[in-house]
Amino acid sequence: MQKSILITGASGNLGHAVLQKFVNEGFKVYGTDRSASPRTDAEIGAVDLTNEQATQAYIEDICKKSPNLNAAVLLVGGYAPGGLKAADAAALQKMYQLNFETAYFVVHALLPHFEANGGGHIVLIGSRAAIDAQAALYNVAYGLSKSLLIALANIINAYGKNKGIRASVIIPSTIDTPPNREAMPDADFEKWTTPEAIADSIHFLFTEPGQHLRETVLKLYNEA
């Protein structure tokens, strides 16, 4: 039986690499993208993941189409700079919504399906700023919102123990993407981590050896 997976944020620089990796590995891929750009190798849905009801309806639909769905990689998110003085209520709310709610609504909708079908694995994308105060100094709202994803993974793992449900967290350093190169033209790009390296690491978590890992946090820092 063909394996299936949900990848949110499939149109981003990282999303494209992750989606392509799983397509190449023979997965049936469901992806979300606000514009739902058509593809022949994956089923892409236009879903506003900040909308709880829309997210719930989408998850129910793909679970009907693919009852064996037991994998999800949640990539939707956003970044905003700003230290403590700049992190006002609006900044906090925006980062909370983009980085936490978009993941939580998917998790909330998927868990009953996973539990009814014997398990499932969710991969969340954290940030160095979520675990390193020094790294969070200049992007406080972003770091705080990403730290909630690590807390969410811990709660999923506690809930899913003995249910076959687990969560893993990927924590990259700066990702080598065109926008990051444009924003930091003087940086040493060779020290950054690539979307393809992250995609390979995520895929490993779904291989037979990777299935033995629990409460996994992978730091993909390269030399950054």
**Which structural domains are found in the chain, ordered by start?**
4-220 (3.40.50.720)
Which pLDDT tens digit goes with each residue over 9-50?
A: 998 899 999 999 999 999 999 999 877 677 778 999 999 999
Classify 63 in phi/psi space as left (phi over 0), alpha (psi -120 to 50) or beta.
Answer: alpha
Give the model's pLDDT for residue 224: 86
Give the model's pLDDT for residue 191: 94
Q: Give the CA angle between residues 197, 202, 206 to the nearest 5°.
A: 140
Q: Is the pTM of this model over 0.85?
A: yes
Tell how far CA 78 is from the center of its chain.
Answer: 11
**Phi/psi at 109 (nearest 5 deg)?**
-80, -35
Q: How far apart are CA 60 and CA 55, in angstroms?
A: 9
Please state, in angstroms and as integers, the Cα–Cα distance from residue 19 to each residue in 31, 61, 75, 91, 224, following that order: 8, 20, 11, 30, 25
Q: CB neighbours of 53 closer than 8 A, spacing ≥ 6?
A: none
Give the model's pLDDT for residue 36: 66
Q: How far apart are CA 29 and CA 58, in angstroms?
A: 14
